[in-house]
Amino acid sequence: MPTGMIQSKSLSILQDQLTHEFIACKKAERYAESFQDVALKQLASELANCHRARYNRLFDYLNSWQ
């Protein structure tokens, strides 16, 4: 667990990145649902999973500072 405090500028950047990852994940999920082509559907699903994993890592990192 980290010690000390996270700087406000760093916190702002991390929160922005968290938001961007969430939005990117949701967009990729919507694309995966809308594609008819199996390969594109799978690619969009994999992309959504990557964004979800990054979101979860950022979320866990931010929670480790509490």
Residue spans of the domains in the chain: they are 9-61
Q: Alpha helix locations (H) across the chain?
A: 8-34, 38-63
- Mean pLDDT (the chain) is 94
pTM: 0.87
More confident residue, 56 or 4: 56
Confidence of residue 5 (pLDDT cuts 50, 70, 90): confident
Q: What number is the average pLDDT over the span 30-35?
A: 98
Q: What would the pLDDT profile of 34-65 be if each residue is shown by its tens digit?
A: 999 999 999 999 999 999 999 999 999 999 98
Query: Is the Cβ–Cβ distance between 2 and 60 less than 8 Å?
Result: no
Count the neighbouring beta carbons within 10 Å of the beta carbon of residue 5. Answer: 9
